Amino acid sequence: MKISDSFKEPLVTRITRHYQTRLIYQELGDFINSWIPSSTKEVVVICIGTDRSTGDAMGPITGSLLKKWRHLQLKVYGTLKEPIHAVNLKEQLLVIQNRHPNAFFIAIDACLGKPSSIGHITASIGALKPGLALKKDLPEVGNLHITGIVNASTPVDYVVLQNTRLHLVMEQAETIARTLLYLDRHYLRAKNESG
């Protein structure tokens, strides 16, 4: 055995694509699946945000879109009807973690970034740190997180979130929902049917 045979290529821990990238949902779905341990019995999606702020509505819109699909293997929390936001996050996380103690958690949230990054969606290993744009101290969420850059960061981020175009938020939410539907149909359903 060669010494080089014992070393694997480093795993990709983050992937970023513009929401209009062709077949983005497959690329993101394949990436997410590569990080879900084979022993995982449940995958839980926690969509964070509120519909009281256009820019912060991406998470609940994504959750609402996913909830419309029947027979999902994914468990989805955080919708327009029942949002998970800064005020109820700690309480909701306790409920979710008690219901699904051994699940793999995927957190979804909108974020702000550089003007050149607006419209980009990132899937990344590790917990999401919600509330950073508004300087809030909130608990970290998820084993993996997906964020969509909905607008540019400024010294007054709360104003920017209020004045974000709904069209961009909807487009990114639809792309993320399609990604998770692809994950559900191509990986999770097949895994549950075979084992």
Domain with 30, as residue range(s), is 13-190
Residue from 18, 47, 151 nearest 109 by CA: 47
Q: According to the model, what pLDDT value does residue 67 have? A: 97
| Residue 35: CATH number of its domain | 3.40.50.1450
Q: Give me the helices (H) in 5-122, please.
A: 24-35, 58-67, 89-99
Does 8 reside within a domain? no
Does 18 reside within a domain? yes
Number of domains observed in the structure of the chain: 1
Does 130 reside within a domain? yes
Assess contact for 109 and 49: CB atoms under 8 A. Answer: yes
Does 5 reside within a domain? no
| Residue pLDDT tens, the chain, 195 long | 334 444 444 478 999 999 999 999 999 999 999 999 989 999 999 999 999 999 999 999 999 999 999 889 999 999 999 999 999 999 999 999 999 999 999 999 999 999 999 999 999 999 999 876 667 789 999 999 999 999 999 887 778 888 899 999 999 999 999 999 999 999 988 777 765
- Location of structure tokens 């409920």: 95
- What per-residue string of b and e applies to 73-108 under the rule 16 or more CB within 10 Å gives b? bbbbbbbbeebbbbeebeebbeebeeebeebbbbbb
